[in-house]
């Protein structure tokens, strides 16, 4: 089915009552056609708050519509897992360039009854026909240009998000999928008010969106960018959610939605006149039918008497954050001055990224030394590289966790591989003490750029997270493409326990900067004496075994910059990767008091500011 052409109608009760047969954008009064603003309908966007304190349950995400959906489910008696699925499905409506039905992710959950942390690996997988050389140009034998690989069916992995939702609800939830999808379905039907961030992200993708007919018709209604203040409706996505509610996720993995996904990936719907040659995908219906979300044992490391749990491989988030924390615990931070604390943070991150790139991949295909990477002994050996008076040089060679006595090797390593910078994160908690930290994605902002016709969601370009060719000749690369393989990720949904009970939950989008965002937030809160809101808002710097450290503008203006440069650190402005501003990450976090009260924290400014909500807010 083809996506129907979007239209602009007046924002009135009559307009909202129209049969949902079109994707609709309702333009504000300042637009050329003179239609009234969406607020005239009474559908004002929920207010944004970066910090909310209270009890009974909490949600934090990048968007107030999504946080409100999670809170609605909590108010109806759902638990943290139910609320996480509701929030995630609403993000698929209002953050369609970052997450949705066509993507994947990792969910970390704390169960209050058993006091155990459980995880689900819902990462996308490569089709059975994918090979190590699938991203090499047959004519030259060289890796495909990034733009050619990204904007193609070849980059599309088998989606894992709906299967993750169903698995989490079956194992730990209290509501059926249909109930948790209800707020998002209503939101897709009724629409949401376009903000500056949504328009800006559309504008960043406009050129490549115009290559694909279905994407142009959905996100560029009447051939134009959506207008700030207008009402954006996606009835095709509402129909998809209704089908999932009625038939379950089999509608994707064994049914009509899946057939549409495969057809679209294998033959992208090119717009008339487009000269872009989109490489066809390799996915089949058999690949969809074979998809399974994987329960995994979480990573764990001790830090200052706390237990830090996160996501095990195929994500590198848990091992890399955990190794860096182990190094920092060895070197010490609390008693260091701020310049030395930041120096050690940067060096620990540099070292752990060197090790990540060498050792972490899909554990079904490579023997990943997870336990060894997280051992205190290995961290102690790697910590010996850090000098107080001089920064290390990147790319730094990896250590061998199987031979930790070799951890002080200062050899030269390989450059940091590509990883898409988008994604989104949410955290939820309920009245019973259950907690969820969930990161989900379609890879870079806008994914592959290909919308499934008639379905209202974009397909991921997650397979570009594979290394297109070995990073170093003669050295095994655990992250090369392969049939049924999951590309390495940096997603780091994290839950921190004190004496078996939650103290913190945190995560972030941002590709490889997810790891440094989570690490820096933990260091800010646990070592540097910041409150959680301060820890999230503080200027970020991201060292990922690169010659220069990426930094936000506020840090580049700080006195610490010059002091660190005197130690040999070099800083560059963070790229405008998934937002119009040079930002690093967009964290969502929770903190818990022993009396059961909680603080929900979202970004105050990054990505336009996030949304923190609690069920019963303190006055």
Q: Which residues are catalytic?
A: 423
Tokens of 45: 């966007």
Task: Give the DSSP per-residue string, 329-356.
Answer: HHH--TTS-HHHHHHHHHHHHHHHHHHH
Q: Give the bridge partners for 301, in sequence order.
A: 308
3-state secondary structure 119-152: EEEECCECCCCCCCCCCECCCCCCECCHHHHHCC
- 499 Cβ contact list (under 8 Å, min separation 6): none
- Spatial CA neighbour of 428 closest among 291, 614, 179: 614
Which DSSP category does 525 fall into? H
Q: Largest Cα–Cα distance in the chain?
A: 73
d(CA 442, CA 424): 9
d(CA 578, CA 384): 36
Residue with tokens 């001790």: 302
- 20 Cβ contact list (under 8 Å, min separation 6): 189, 233, 235, 238
Tokens of 297: 């044992």
Task: Give the DSSP per-residue string, 203-229.
Answer: HHHHHHHTTBHHHHHHHSGGGSPPPTT
Tokens of 385: 């590289």
Helix, coil or strand: residue 106 = strand
d(CA 426, CA 73): 15
- 401 Cβ contact list (under 8 Å, min separation 6): 355, 359, 369, 372, 373, 375, 378
- Spatial CA neighbour of 520 closest among 458, 468, 589, 454: 589
- Degrees, nearest 5: CA angle 567-569-574: 155
Sign of CA dihedral 412, 413, 415, 420: negative
């Amino acid at each position: 089915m083809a996506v129907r052409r979007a239209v602009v109608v007046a924002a009135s009760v009559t307009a909202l009552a129209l049969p949902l047969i079109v994707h609709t954008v309702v333009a504000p009064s300042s637009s050329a056609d003179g239609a009234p603003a969406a607020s005239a309908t009474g559908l004002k966007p929920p207010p944004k708050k970066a910090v909310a304190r209270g009890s009974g349950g909490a949600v934090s995400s990048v968007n107030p519509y999504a946080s409100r959906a999670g809170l609605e489910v909590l108010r109806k008696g759902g638990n943290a897992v139910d609320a996480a699925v509701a929030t995630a499905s609403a993000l698929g409506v209002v953050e369609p360039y970052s997450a949705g039905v066509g993507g994947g992710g990792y969910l970390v959950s704390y169960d209050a009854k058993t006091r155990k942390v459980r995880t689900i690996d819902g990462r996308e997988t490569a089709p059975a026909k994918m090979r190590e050389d699938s991203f090499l140009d047959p004519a030259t034998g060289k890796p495909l240009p990034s733009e050619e690989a990204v904007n193609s069916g070849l980059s599309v992995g088998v989606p894992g998000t709906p299967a993750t939702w169903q698995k989490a609800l079956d194992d730990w939830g209290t509501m059926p999928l249909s109930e948790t999808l209800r707020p998002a379905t209503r939101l897709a039907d009724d629409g949401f008010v376009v903000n500056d961030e949504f328009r800006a992200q559309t504008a960043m993708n406009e050129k490549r969106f115009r290559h694909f007919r279905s994407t142009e018709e959905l996100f560029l209604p009447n051939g134009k960018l959506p207008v700030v203040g207008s009402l954006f409706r996606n009835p095709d996505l509402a129909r998809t959610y209704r089908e999932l509610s009625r038939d379950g996720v089999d509608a994707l993995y064994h049914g009509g939605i899946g057939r549409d996904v495969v057809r679209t990936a294998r033959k992208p719907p090119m717009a008339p006149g487009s000269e872009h040659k989109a490489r066809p995908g390799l996915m089949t219906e058999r690949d969809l039918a074979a998809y399974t979300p994987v329960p995994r044992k979480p990573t764990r490391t001790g830090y200052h008497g706390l237990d830090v749990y996160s996501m095990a491989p195929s994500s590198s988030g848990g091992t890399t954050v955990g190794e860096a924390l182990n190094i920092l615990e060895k070197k010490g931070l609390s008693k260091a001055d701020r310049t030395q604390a930041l120096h050690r943070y940067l060096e620990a991150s540099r070292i752990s990224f060197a090790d990540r790139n060498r050792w972490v991949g899909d554990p079904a295909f490579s023997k990943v030394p997870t336990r060894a990477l997280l051992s205190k002994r290995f961290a102690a050996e790697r910590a010996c590289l850090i000098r107080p008076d001089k920064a290390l040089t990147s790319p730094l060679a990896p250590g061998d966790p199987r031979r930790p006595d070799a951890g002080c090797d200062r050899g030269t390593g390989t450059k940091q591989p590509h990883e898409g910078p988008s994604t989104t994160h949410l955290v939820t908690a309920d009245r019973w003490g259950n907690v969820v930290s969930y990161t989900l994605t379609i890879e870079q902002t806008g994914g592959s750029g290909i919308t499934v016709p008639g379905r209202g969601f974009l397909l991921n370009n997650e397979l570009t997270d594979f290394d297109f060719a070995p990073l170093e000749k003669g050295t095994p690369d655990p992250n090369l493409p392969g049939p049924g393989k999951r590309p390495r990720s940096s997603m780091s949904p994290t839950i921190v326990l004190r004496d078996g009970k939650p103290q913190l939950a945190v995560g972030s989008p941002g590709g490889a900067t997810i790891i440094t965002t989570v690490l820096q937030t933990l260091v800010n809160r646990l070592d540097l004496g910041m409150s959680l809101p301060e820890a999230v808002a503080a200027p970020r710097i991201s060292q990922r075994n690169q010659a220069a450290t990426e930094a936000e503008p506020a840090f580049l203006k700080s006195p610490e910059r010059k002091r660190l440069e005197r130690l040999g650190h070099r800083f560059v402005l963070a790229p405008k990767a998934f937002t119009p501003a040079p930002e690093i990450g967009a964290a969502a976090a929770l903190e818990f008091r022993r009396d059961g009260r909680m603080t929900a924290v979202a970004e105050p400014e990054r990505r336009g500011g996030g949304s923190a909500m609690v069920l019963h807010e303190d006055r």
